[in-house]
Chain A
């Protein structure tokens, strides 16, 4: 029988279309804001996790900190890390390997077309395998680099895109990096991470000897032997670096962080932003709820006679309560549905514009089914709560007085 009540409630609402829509605005602005911003936040979080998630939890990144405008991490800082640190770090108990990572930006040329790319190194000797395992480096064509490979590169998947250089780069092609000719020996598997997909990988001695004129290191990747001791290792590295760089505790010009930590702190920032927006959206929804209460009060007053008629033909107090309760719940849930659609369009639209404006693939919207269901449930509940008191008042109306009521 409840379906009949829903139909009756719907007919009442559609009879007063404009008022119903105006009432729902408060709800749908709130829900749209929640859905859009949560969706964007989730998308961003998902994208960033995807970019950096390849590194295991047992890896620490050591990096000089300071002002660093666009460019590879750890470069153009006041006091960069030096290449002798890795050996010292490796001597710390609990450290499995410490690997210098050099990242160099430069001009890449193929088929008479140029682009700015980042080249990075693979260490030589025993560290090569450790490093390749650490970042799970695999080729889909050709081979990985080996010791003694001079002027040979392995390229990320994006270089095989015809649109980039006019034609696909294949194993065996020759390419130019900063004016130096290289043979392409391998193409990496596609990972969906810009770090890999846009990579130009060469042996360490080539990168350092040909393209760098100092002993600075961008990042030192430290693999620990046992995940349980990662905290101690981190502390020991910090202590060592403070001594080496002659800085006091609390004034460090470097960071020692696991990628997981970095993600966590980013997560916290995103969560903070999402929480702030959610509070504002929540207030909007509460105001929307008050709007529903107001509309329902008006409806109860206007339809006093109708309540009397229904009671005279057999509607109990509970029936009247249910009818008005459903009506306010519908105002909430329809507001919620419109809000979700609006939020969906808004977040994807904003993400699209963001990608166009910033050229970053990181900006995307991800609206989960949980978010949609949660928003729907919440809007329905707000509608129901907002309608409780008016519906109760309607149910308690005296049939005799109600029948006598004239507008």
Chain B
């Protein structure tokens, strides 16, 4: 498994909905190598969100194994998973998911608080990251004082706070207009060029075409693999 950073091996996820059992994932196999830019596409109900949860160590499978850098994380406790997420994976969400009571800088520094990094170092890294996404003038603004595009750039900066191996973006342009969406995708491409592994979950072909590889998901498993459009 040289160079493999994430591997899902015959992953099943079953939810109990009242009396009925629903299989959101049905034997999903997925392998992502270091430095790749992968898009996961699929219609609603295809299991995309559940797949994101597995890849991002937000959840553990009902059956099968999830490897993150050779370590099986499918049996880990909630707190161990949280530690791994904090260090190895940076999340970007469709809803931006910033904390409204904190400033842009504090939001970016928050993942570092959870990793025990000292305040001065946190603020220094946070400022650099916000500068990198072009928000150096707005570091003390609260999320509610920022536009959607700016909020997503703060979220991108936050995803990089602990210098993770993988950046996982779940519909990152879903709440943005096409022009702002392009800017966000451009950031992700640049991150990929800098060596980060990027995984984008989307239903938008225009976003997916930036990836090296597109995985099509349907009924809880991969049904098709293609190369990305622009690579």
Task: Please give the residue numbers on chain A whose beta carbons come within 8 Å of chain B beta carbons, in ascending order.
Answer: 1, 4-5, 8, 11-12, 15, 305-306, 308-319, 399-400, 403
Contact = CB atoms under 8 A, between A and B. Distances in A.
A319 B158 CA distance: 18
B113 A1 contact: yes
Contact of A312 (B56, B101, B161): B56
A316 B82 contact: yes
Contacts of B86: 313-315
Contact of A313 (B53, B101, B119, B158): B158
A309 B87 CA distance: 15
Question: Which of A5, A8, A315, A319 neighbours the largest number of chain B CB atoms within 10 Å of its CB?
Answer: A315
A194 B100 CA distance: 63
B82 A305 contact: no
Contact of A400 (B53, B100, B110): B53
B83 A314 contact: yes
A310 B110 contact: yes
Contact of B119 (A4, A8, A319): A4
Nearest to B84: A314
Nearest to B114: A314
26 contacts: A1-B113, A1-B116, A4-B119, A11-B101, A305-B97, A309-B97, A309-B99, A311-B58, A311-B82, A312-B97, A313-B85, A313-B86, A313-B110, A313-B111, A313-B161, A314-B87, A314-B111, A314-B115, A314-B162, A315-B82, A316-B79, A316-B114, A317-B78, A319-B114, A399-B82, A403-B58
Nearest to B90: A313
B11 to A, nearest CB: 15
Interface string B105-119: 000001101111001
A310 B152 CA distance: 16
Nearest to A401: B59
Interface residues of B, number: 29
A403 B83 CA distance: 17
A400 B82 CA distance: 12
Contact of A15 (B58, B101, B113, B162): B101
Given A309-B97, A311-B82, A313-B85, A400 B114 contact: no
Given A4-B119, A399-B58, A400-B59, A315 B114 contact: yes
A318 B79 contact: yes
B102 A11 contact: yes
B58 A312 contact: yes
Nearest to B159: A313
Contacts of B113: 1, 4-5, 8
Contacts of B79: 316-318
Contacts of A5: 113
A314 B82 contact: yes
A309 to B, nearest CB: 5
Contacts of A11: 101-102
B85 A314 contact: yes
B83 A12 contact: no
A316 B162 CA distance: 15
Contacts of A12: 101
A313 B91 contact: yes
